[in-house]
Amino acid sequence: MNGQKAAQSLSLVAIDVGSVNTRAQFFDSVEGRYRFLAAGEAPSTVGAPVYDLNAGVLAALEQLQEITGRSLLAEQGLLISPTNENGIGANALATTFSCGPALKVITVGLLEGVSLHSVNNLVNSGYCQVVESLSLSDRRQPENIIDAICLTLPDLVVVGGGTNRGASRSVIRLANYLALALTLIPEKQRPEVLFVGNDSLRQEIENLLGPITKVHITANIRPSLDLESLGPAADQLGEITFSIQARKLGGLQQLHDLAEGHFLPGATALGRVIRFLSTVIDIPKGMLGIDLGASNTTVAAAFGGELQMGVYTGLGMGSGISGMIAETHLPQITRWIPIDLEDDFVLDYLYNKPLFAQSLPTSPEELAIEQAAARQVIRLAIGKSLSIFPADAIYPLPGTVPWFDRILISGSTVTRAPRLEQSLLMILDAVQPVGITTIILDQNNLVNAVGASAEIDPMLAVQVLESNAFMNLGTVISPAGVMRSGSPILRIQMVRDGQKEPVVEIKEGGLQVLPLPTGKVADLYVQPMQNVNIGLGAGRGGWVRRVVGGAFGIVIDARGRPVQVASSFNRRQESLQSWQDALSGI
Amino acid sequence: MLAPVTYIQPLATLRRKRRLPVEGLVLVNLGDLVHCGDAIARANLYTKHIMLDASRALGLQPERVERHIQRSVGEKVDEGAIIAGRRGVGARQLRAPASGQIAAISEGQILLQVSDESSLLPARVPGQVIDIEPGRGATIECICAWVQCVWGNGHFAEGNLQLVGESADHVLTADQIDMSLRGAILLAGHCHQRQALELAGQVPIRGLVLGSLATRLLPIAEKMAYPIVLTEGFGEISMNADAFKLFSNHNGEQATLNAQKSNPILGDRPEIIIPLKDVGRPPQPVQMQSFRLGHSVRVISGAEKGEIGEITTLLPASTLFPSGLRAAGAEVALSKAGEITIPLANLELLG
């Protein structure tokens, strides 16, 4: 149905099935460039009472059809064909999914800090939950390990260990325990095995485990001690995830077949986009992508084309709020709420949200709680991701995120905030970037579609990314270091159209906006004071060339890192309001 | 827009498929009548093993020890029985440290299963077995009055329904709980007293149905040994009028309280089932529908949470709400609060 991509431009429908919402998005060529044109949305139907995600897909497509006035559906099914002419159906279909429960995975490695760590990184890059881990340092008796494996009834076991010229007997010993345990599980319930260890052991592993269960083998994720290579294994994990989920989730296989293989986990699609965008950024600065979903939050970071991913299942804004609550003290949420609310009111809202994941905040109070919760969810996800960011990135302040040249954020709570300054503040408060960063808002929730469509027509992906479908909120300069309250920390001079503007002195505390209209280009000379670092080194300044203006121009986040919020409500309200006012231009 | 549904049905035919997570043994037959606590299947989920290293015990390489192992997989052995050994006087032997069954033999290692704690699969709902899945479970059908809830603490029980108070917003307190309530399933609008929950467990009651529970009592409710379900959620929310009316009509009757945890993928929700007799065979609940004018709905979020009303107008996706968000909405005529404008996302159909 999709066929090969046409030499001329094509029209494309992208479908994204989430745990709460299913989206259908339409892309086509307008005046020689691909554009995002319209979207339909419907509640996801993967669970009760329908148990078939295609009902939600159909509803989303019907809405898309109504909006575009374009026939996408017919009696015989979806009108997708490479030969469809203009105005009828579309030429191609790409799909992504992030619905369904996380896979239960057991991870096996030799050393906790080496192979097991890499296996866990691999598993955490997908929609998986590690339910048990085994390594050589496991103090349990072998029979207890076997009993633990049997008790968890995992969906998948991922086995790593041994560099390509390294340990082999120890890997086989662990594999033997695994084999014993698997024989005790009834055949139909046995988990599949993914081997990502010593390449020289492939045949032995296949001989040992192949007769017992389905074994997948891919390249060693730790070919040497100092190299972790997750790419091929992550792709394989994505395919295995799909095949297991397809047995559990009604309609997933049919949707996959309809898409003729252009079918990705949502996190993988996000990762592709982030990795691609990182290739146009000067190393060692990186590209960060965050997708704040209802059930999961994905963090994708790429430096010079090297991608690291973390998919935090059970951490999100719908059912995933329970995961956030379990790791959070209430003050970590209420510190971001500018309204005086009783603790019980906040708790009631947060604990009810997972029961009704699709519900929306209708009052200013509820909105404030949701946006505060969103900050905490993202902060937790970023905190868990710190260990996967490369050590050789630029860290203007130890213990914080590295310098990201750009941050792209997706997820309705952030992208559909009633006011743009709310979106930007959620990102700045949650991620607390350091250095000089452009913030990009995925206001139409397109990033998954772009990632999935890239293999159909890379030009579509590139042109949609460059279009105003993704909103540039502005470039944020976030100095870090020892800064006295109220003292000057930075001087900035903008040069626009060859004209030098007055030097602006920035004092510690608060946010300040330097106007630069959307799309306008300027050069900035930034000179931090001693002990203040904007990414070039303490006290070191320089030119920042060709900064493109966004919705908020240039934003200087002089609040320091970490951002401190007063514990007393009056002072807190004053601060939160002043930050919002600074962005809204009041 | 497709609408989520909460079922509050005075008369329904329910079918529940109960299934073991692994192969096991089905204990019921077609046509059997079961109560919620009856076991309908059994599987070995909690086995324990001992690993015996025959290679080390006999002082032989793994590849040479196999022929000295005198048992086979599946064989039962008594404590002290020889499992592996070499011939000859004073030869080294491996004996069973406990009674059990040989579970696996591999690479000179012998896995001895020493404990076989069967896990029984309870019916969790009363009714008649109408279908058997060999080795896995059964489908149970029940003709009943049925109320779905939003939260449960995982337990289940049978008992007689006992309303505490006369209104859907009645607050359950410790001074209302005494031995006369022993064995009952209590119903009330709200509880915010830890002592009430604990005292109820001491009486003991069979179960507790509330409209809402104070959020700070959640950890305590999770630990109670009796089932607790909430029809509305956390906070101070009255039980919805339809559910309260149904329970009032069946006050004193036998009911099953299935406080299972919600699982949207499987469709599991906590529920109360009141078996009915001599009522014919009502249809099964209708599946998903869209929101339409005249539909009876329940508000699931916001100041009017728990209220029931009727859709009078459907509004477009650009409808602006006080929070500043825009979404598809509806005007709903509530029985108490008059007409309100609310996002469709904050409504559930009542089925």
Instruction: Answer for the pair A149, A178: CB distance below 8 angstroms, yes or no.
Output: yes
- B interface test, pick of A190, A362, A365, A367 with most B CB neighbours within 10 Å: A362
List CB contacts (< 8 A) between A43 and chain B.
1-4
Contacts of A84 (CB under 8 A, 6+ apart): A11, A90, A91
Report the alpha-carbon distance of residue A583 to residue A425 in Å, rounded: 9
Strand partners, B113: B49, B101
Write down the pLDDT at residue B337.
77
Residue of A nearest to B46 (CA): A151
Summarize pLDDT for B167-200 with one digit per residue, the tens: 999 999 999 999 999 999 999 999 999 999 999 9
Q: Look at the domain B291-350 and name its fold.
A: SH3 type barrels. (2.30.30)
From start to end of A151-220, where are the E strands? 156-159, 192-195, 215-217
At which residue do the structure tokens 């750009």 appear?
A406
* Same domain membership, residue A205 and residue A126: yes
Nearest of B246, B33, B273 to residue B143 by alpha carbon:
B273
**A79 and A206 co-located in one domain:** no
Q: What phi, psi does A375 have (nearest 5°)?
A: -60, -45
Structure tokens at A367: 């909105």
A-chain CB neighbours of B302 within 8 Å are 362-363, 366
A92 and A128 both lie in a single domain: no
Residue A359 contacts B, CB cutoff 8 Å:
yes
- Kindly list the residues from chain A whose CB atom is less than 8 angstroms away from the CB atom of residue B267: 47-49, 51
Cβ contact, residue pair A352, B47, below 8 Å: no
Please give the residue range of the domain that contains residue A26.
12-97
Q: Say if the Cβ atoms of A360 and B22 lie within 8 Å.
A: no
> Where on the phi/psi map is residue A225: left (φ > 0), alpha (ψ -120 to 50), or beta?
alpha
Among residues B195, B237, B239, B238, which one has the least CA distance to residue B220? B195
Tokens standing for residue A572: 């807190």
Number of Cβ within a 10 Å radius of residue A32: 7
Minimal C-alpha gap between A528 and chain B (Å): 38
pLDDT per residue as tens, chain B (351 positions): 778 999 999 999 999 999 998 888 999 999 999 999 999 999 877 778 998 999 899 988 888 888 899 999 999 999 999 999 877 778 889 999 999 999 988 878 899 998 767 788 999 999 999 999 999 999 999 999 999 999 999 999 999 999 998 999 999 999 999 999 999 999 999 999 999 999 999 999 999 999 999 999 999 999 999 999 999 999 999 999 999 999 999 999 999 999 999 998 888 999 999 999 888 888 777 766 789 999 999 999 999 999 999 999 999 889 999 999 999 999 999 987 799 999 999 999 998
Instruction: Report d(CA B104, CA B98) in Å as an integer.
Output: 16
Helix (H, G, I), strand (E, B) or coil at A37: strand
Residue B128 tokens, joined: 């008649």
Angle at CA of residue B238, ends B234 and B241, nearest 5°:
130
Residues A316 and A431 in one domain: yes
Best to test chain A binding among B53, B213, B216, B288 (most A CBs inside 10 Å): B288
To the nearest whole angstrom, how far is the Cα of A436 from the nearest Cα of chain B? 31
Of B2, B23, B104, Cβ closest to residue A183: B104
Give me the CATH number covering residue A170: 3.40.50.280
Put simply, the answer to whether A367 touches B323 (Cβ < 8 Å) is yes
Q: Which CATH class is domain B44-117?
A: mainly beta
CA distance A15 to A22: 7
Look at A176 and B107 and tell me if their CB atoms are within 8 Å.
yes
A57 in a structural domain: yes
Structural domain contains residue A263: no
> Which of B21, B48, B288 faces A153 most closely, judged by CB atoms?
B21
CB contact under 8 A, A42 and B1: yes
Q: Do A143 and B215 touch (CB under 8 A)?
A: no
Task: Return the pLDDT at A574.
Answer: 94
Looking at residue A8, its pLDDT comes to 61
Q: Output the CA–CA distances (angstroms, integers) from residue B137 to B29, B125, B270, in the order listed.
A: 10, 14, 20
- C-beta atoms of B267 and A352 within 8 A: no
Contact yes or no for B325 and A418 at CB 8 A: yes
Tell me if A4 is assigned to some domain: no
Q: Are residues A84 and A117 in the same domain?
A: no
Q: Give the pLDDT score at B260.
A: 95
CB atoms B323 and A143 under 8 Å: no
User: Do B51 and A101 count as a contact with CB atoms less than 8 A apart?
Assistant: no
A267-281: string of b/e by CB count within 10 Å (b at 16+)? bbbbbbbbbbbbeeb
Helix (H, G, I), strand (E, B) or coil at A24: strand
ipTM value of the model? Answer: 0.91
CATH of domain B2-38+123-275: 3.50.30.10
- The residue of chain B nearest to residue A415, with distances taken between CA atoms, is B325
The residues of chain A scoring below 50 in pLDDT are 1-7
Amino acid B304 reads E
Domain boundary pick from A197, A213, A248: A248
Domain range summary for chain B, segments of one domain joined by +: 2-38+123-275, 44-117, 291-350
In this structure, the answer to whether residues A128 and A231 fall within a common structural domain is: yes
**Chain B within 8 Å of A399 (Cβ-Cβ)?**
no
Amino acid at A45: T
Residue A418 sits in the same domain as residue A444 = yes
Residue type, A570: N
Q: Are residues A130 and A165 in the same domain?
A: yes
Question: Does A379 share its domain with A405?
Answer: yes
Contact A425, A583 (CB under 8 A): yes
A47–chain B Cβ distance below 8 A for any pair: yes
The predicted pLDDT at position A97 comes to 94
In chain A, the number of structural domains is 3
Whether A236 and A336 share a structural domain: no
pLDDT score of A79: 75
Mind spelling out the 3-state secondary structure of chain B? Answer: CEECEECEEEEEEEEEEEECCCCCEECCCCCCEECCCCEEEEEEEEEEEEEEEHHHHHCCCHHHHHHHECCCCCCEECCCCEEEECCCCCCCEEECCCCEEEEEEECCEEEEEEEEEEEEEECCCCEEEEEEECCCEEEEEEEEEEEECCEECCCEEEEEEEECCCCCCCEECHHHCCHHHCCEEEEEEEECCHHHHHHHHHCCCCEEEEEEECHHHHHHHHHCCCCEEEEEEECCCCCCHHHHHHHHHCCCCEEEEECCCCECCCCECCEEEEECCCCCCCCCCCCCEECCCCCEEEECCCCCCCCEEEEEEEEEEEEECCCCCEEEEEEEEECCCEEEEEEHHHEEEEC
Structure token digits, residue B312: 């009078």
Closest CA to B92 of B67, B68, B116: B68
pLDDT at position B288 is 66
Q: Nearest CA to A103 among A87, A118, A86, A122?
A: A122
User: Does B233 contact A355 at a Cβ distance shorter than 8 Å?
Assistant: yes
| Beta-carbon separation of A358 and B4 below 8 A | yes
Q: Residue A362: which of B109, B264, B342 has the nearest Cβ?
A: B342
Contacts of B327 in chain A (CB under 8 A): 360
Asked whether residue A218 falls in the same domain as residue A354, the answer is: no
**Residues A297 and A309: beta-carbon distance below 8 Å:** no
Q: Is residue A7 part of a domain?
A: no
Q: Give the single-character DSSP code of A393.
A: S
What is the Cα–Cα distance from A73 to A95, expressed in whole angstroms? 16
**What residues pair up with B161 in beta bridges, in sequence order?**
B185
Interface residue A179 vs chain B (CB under 8 A)? yes
Task: Output the DSSP codes for A498-564.
Answer: TEEPPPEEEESSSEEEE---TT-EEEEEEEEPTTEESSS-TT--EEEEEEEP-TT-EEEE-STTTTP
Contacts of B202 (CB under 8 A, 6+ apart): none
Query: B213-248 b/e with 16+ CB inside 10 Å = b?
Result: bbbebbebbeebebbbbbbbbbbbbbbbbbbbebbe
Instruction: With 0.90 as the threshold, say if the pTM is over it.
Output: yes
